[in-house]
Amino acid sequence: MKIYVPLDSAAVALGADKVAAAITDEAARRGVTVEVVRNGSRGMVWLEPLVEVVSAEGRLGFGPMAVADVAGLFGDLASHPKAVGLVEELPWMKGQTRLTFARVGVIDPLSLDDYRAHGGLVGLERAVKMAAPEIVAEVTESGLRGRGGAGFPTGIKWKTVSEAVADQKYIVCNADEGDSATFADRMLMEGDPFTLIEGMAIAGLATGATKGYVYIRSEYPVAIRVMEAAVRIAREAGVLGPRFDMEIRVGAGAYVCGEETSLLNSLEGKRGVVRAKPPLPALQGFLGRPTVVNNVISLASVPVIMARGAAYYKDFGLGRSRGTIPLQIAGNVRFGGLYEVAFGLTLGQIVNEIGGGTASGRPVKAVQVGGPLGAWFPVSLFDTPFGYEEFGAKDGLIGHAGLTVADDTIDMLQMARFAMEFCAIESCGKCTPCRIGSIRGVETLDRLARGDTSAIPLITDLCNTMKLGSLCALGGFTPYPVMSALTHFPDDFVRAKEAAE
């Protein structure tokens, strides 16, 4: 018998380790030989821990599994109370276009043989035979834009580094993933680490960089463990070596270190303060050398682009948002998890059709798109198609494609206050509008909460000051959640007054 039990953090947080141990124990008790493979997650978090049993027809799913459900796996599988059928046939799986996440949840994350058997290393093998400018051209042609938030074209960034002359260049993978509602980087690193390694190796060939770093946030112990093991395995197998090698580095709990220049300072062992640009990191990045800084998903999307060609990837999508995007549907939502799909679904389709509405069963009130620096969208904007420009046109952003669904019990004034508080806690301290403005923002919103509506113009002014006077998007974009809450949910800012009186 071969049984898959995810090692993914979400599955583990819901009891996967205990279920895996119970399966081993039960098998031993019954004298049955069972091979337990710890895979990544399929992304259906409401079914986690999702156990899969290999059968002649395919992989049969059982979830959410508890220890008490384990004995039943050794009996009649069809009548198991947690049976969900063939995993690949579930609507959640069939509706997706899994390019970047094709292998996540499918393979043993630390088996290089499994990786190869599922199409791994084909992109790198093709890249090895190409000249650097050809690789850069292919990535540019694919239309891939940075998935870390800013949406900058990946190929153009690579071109700058590729053409820079230096004795040493670097590839730095940004795995700081600090945004609430995002976990795509984590799932990819835990479920298919070799894809990221392959993407970074291709980036190295394209730019002439021979050394890479993955900066992973310390809040991700499982991802750190899997990536460290994968790097060792890749090195032993010669995938990494003199041509390109890499190290895993661990952050230290500062949100701002996701900002690329702050990350580089942190990697150098300094305080994670933001650097002024120029100089661009592409020209003077890590230790002053030309450096590609890319998000995990940007880099992990490169192998499939190289393997199947730029045109194949580019064919998916909408407008200037090409390819696929791993949506992370989170918060108060019935079917939460990761759903990779071509750009272009509307927000309403994502929240209601894929997510199934709220977990509480109450009406959806607002959805924050793009993490703590993203805008709150009301239901009246649910026709907005998922794309960089499309969300920008509605005074929002897609960021790293995380969505926080909230039901009608949420108090938008409190969410606006939280955005300011978060900015105050996480500010790197370099600019006054961010460092001091956010503290003033909390105070001003507290005045509003006490019923002082005269504070509304003040908060608007303050947001303008932060927008214009901040060096990076922490101070500069905190106004998005604040102003969207105020604009779309003005009643919450007035109701507070009535409550106070």
Partner 1 sequence: MLDSHPHSDRIAEILEAHRGLEGPLLPILHAIQEAFGHVPEAAVPQIAKALTMSKAEVHGVISFYHDFRKAPAGRHVLKLCRAEACQTMGADAVAEQIKKALGIDWHETTPDGRVTLEPVFCLGLCACGPSAMVDGRLVGRCDESVLAEVAK
Ligand X SMILES: Cc1cc2nc3c(=O)[nH]c(=O)nc-3n(C[C@H](O)[C@H](O)[C@H](O)COP(=O)(O)O)c2cc1C
**Residues that bind partner 1 in the complex, under the rule CB under 8 A:** 9-10, 12-14, 45-46, 48, 177-183, 186, 218-222, 247, 249-255, 266-273, 286-287, 328-333, 336-337, 359, 368, 372, 402, 404-407, 410, 415, 418, 422, 425-426
Mapped onto helix, strand or coil, the DSSP state of residue 14 is coil
298 binds, among ligand SF4, ligand X, partner 1, none (CB under 5 to 8 A by kind): ligand X
- Nearest distance in Å: CB 295, ligand X: 3
Count the Cβ atoms, other than its own, within 10 Å of residue 49: 27
Interface size with ligand SF4, residues (CB under 6 A): 15
The DSSP-derived string for 125-172 is HHHHTS-HHHHHHHHHHHT-B-TTTT--BHHHHHHHHHHS--S--EEE
* Closer to ligand SF4 by Cβ: residue 294 or 465: 465
Give ∠ CA 125-127-133 in degrees, rounded to 5.
170
**Position among 146, 323, 331, 396 found at the interface with ligand X (CB under 6 A):** 146
Distance CA 298, CA 174 (A): 10
4 binds, among ligand SF4, partner 1, ligand X, none (CB under 5 to 8 A by kind): none
- Nearest distance in Å: CB 89, ligand X: 33
Distance CA 300, CA 195 (A): 5
Distance CA 225, CA 213 (A): 15
**Position among 351, 472, 482, 486 found at the interface with ligand X (CB under 6 A):** 472
* Closer to partner 1 by Cβ: residue 221 or 319: 221
* Closer to partner 1 by Cβ: residue 230 or 254: 254
219 binds, among ligand SF4, partner 1, ligand X, none (CB under 5 to 8 A by kind): partner 1
* CB-based contact 259:146 (threshold 8 Å): no
- Nearest distance in Å: CB 368, partner 1: 6
* CB-based contact 227:216 (threshold 8 Å): yes
Residues of this chain, 165-224, that bind ligand X according to CB under 6 A: 174, 176-178
Which position has the token pair 């900058």? Answer: 152
Helices vs. strands in the chain: H and E counts, helices first: 22, 16
**Position among 429, 461, 468, 491 found at the interface with ligand SF4 (CB under 6 A):** 429
Smallest CA-to-CA distance from 481 within 418, 394, 405, 403 is with: 418
* Closer to ligand SF4 by Cβ: residue 300 or 424: 424
Mapped onto helix, strand or coil, the DSSP state of residue 61 is strand
SS3 per-residue string spanning 380-447: HHCCCECCHHHHHCCCCCCCCCEEEEEECCCCHHHHHHHHHHHHHHHCCCCCHHHHHHHHHHHHHHHH
* Closer to partner 1 by Cβ: residue 7 or 455: 7
Binding mask 358-397 for ligand X (x = CB under 6 A): ----------------------------------------
- Nearest distance in Å: CB 281, ligand SF4: 15
Count the Cβ atoms, other than its own, within 10 Å of residue 487: 13
By CB under 6 A, is residue 256 in contact with ligand SF4?
A: yes
**Position among 405, 471, 482, 483 found at the interface with ligand SF4 (CB under 6 A):** 471
Beta bridge mates, 325 = 341
Contact stretch for ligand X (CB under 6 A) within 43-51, 358-366, 403-411, 466-474: 466-474
* CB-based contact 394:384 (threshold 8 Å): yes
By CB under 6 A, is residue 150 in contact with ligand X?
A: yes
* Closer to ligand X by Cβ: residue 114 or 185: 185
Binding mask 296-315 for ligand X (x = CB under 6 A): --x-----------------
Binding mask 254-293 for ligand X (x = CB under 6 A): --x-xxx--------------------------------x
258 binds, among ligand SF4, partner 1, ligand X, none (CB under 5 to 8 A by kind): ligand X
Mapped onto helix, strand or coil, the DSSP state of residue 352 is helix
By CB under 6 A, is residue 8 in contact with ligand X?
A: no
* Closer to ligand X by Cβ: residue 187 or 473: 473
366: tokens are 């607002």
Give the contacts of 431 (CB within 8 A, at least 6 positions apart). 469, 470, 471, 475
Phi-psi region of 6 (alpha: psi -120 to 50; beta: other; left: phi over 0): beta
**Interacting residue ranges for ligand SF4, rule: CB under 6 A:** 256, 274, 427-431, 434-435, 470-472, 474-476
**Interacting residue ranges for ligand X, rule: CB under 6 A:** 146-150, 152, 174, 176-178, 256, 258-260, 293-295, 298, 472-474
